Amino acid sequence: MIILITLSGIIGSGKSSLTAILANELGTKAFFEPVKDNPVLPLFYKGNEIAANKRAAGDKEATNPYAYLLQTFFLNRRFKMIKEAMKDDNNILDRSIYEDELFMKMNTDMGNATQVEYQIYKSLLKNMMEELPYAAKKKSPDLMITIKVSYETMIKRITKRGREYELIQNDPSLADYYKKLLGYYDEWMKQYDVSPLLIIDGDKYDFIGNADDRITVLKTIEERLLELNKLTSSEAAEIEKRHTQPF
């Protein structure tokens, strides 16, 4: 078994949880996107609120001064993370560089970033993607797993984990931001072609709290890996034995 799996999905979709579950199931290493040590993220959410208030007051050109900074911060982190993951075998990333641009595009379309910032960002991303095959064993993931959830499920999970700067109770403008982001993810899923894509219904399957749902999702992923010849039948049978083990 030599695999590289990347996960994608909107805020609160359960990427980190499924990454941990999969890493435990497949016996692989998990790479998690740092959140707690991100000094820009709280500033970005505050900047969104400030920009929205300015635009509502008539300043149509108001931008979020932290949007470009946040996206370059994430881009740098994700480039480093995927390079490290691609150097070895059997790794799983809870987010990857491949969905990064949709955030910058959305922020530009919303007026939080300027077109100049977006073009500079795209140029930087293009340069990084051209360098990636030279810095790693693989040119792309073996499988991209996207967790698709509704707005209601997303808000429920965001509320449960309780990060102050993500809560719509603290910033009502986030409701519109999150709804727009769902639409951008829908478009991204249609256009993604870097690797095979598997979409998991995060509304239907509670793979975090329901053991039966977790087994169903794991079997779905393992069957896809079998189809892609990334698992052998004997490896799949061995993994199958772990399904009854507690996570």
Neighbours of 92 (CB within 10 A): 26
Please check if 17 is assigned to a binding site: yes
Residues forming a β-bridge with 9: 147
Please check if 11 is assigned to a binding site: yes
Choice among 59, 88, 89, 94 that is catalytic: 94
Distances in Å between the Cα of 210 and the Cα atoms of 30, 83, 205, 206, 232 are 22, 34, 8, 6, 27
Alpha helices in the chain (DSSP H): 15-26, 41-56, 67-87, 100-110, 115-135, 151-161, 174-191, 211-227, 233-240
Please check if 214 is assigned to a binding site: no
Please check if 84 is assigned to a binding site: no
8 Å CB contact between 90 and 2: yes
Query: Is 94 assigned a catalytic role?
Result: yes
Please check if 14 is assigned to a binding site: yes
Please check if 55 is assigned to a binding site: no
Please check if 114 is assigned to a binding site: no
Please check if 78 is assigned to a binding site: no
8 Å CB contact between 224 and 5: no
Q: Which residues are annotated as a binding site?
A: 9-17, 33, 45, 71, 95, 100, 157-161, 166
Which residues are designated catalytic?
A: 94
Annotated binding site for substrate: 33, 45, 71, 95, 100, 166
Annotated binding site for ATP: 9-17, 157-161
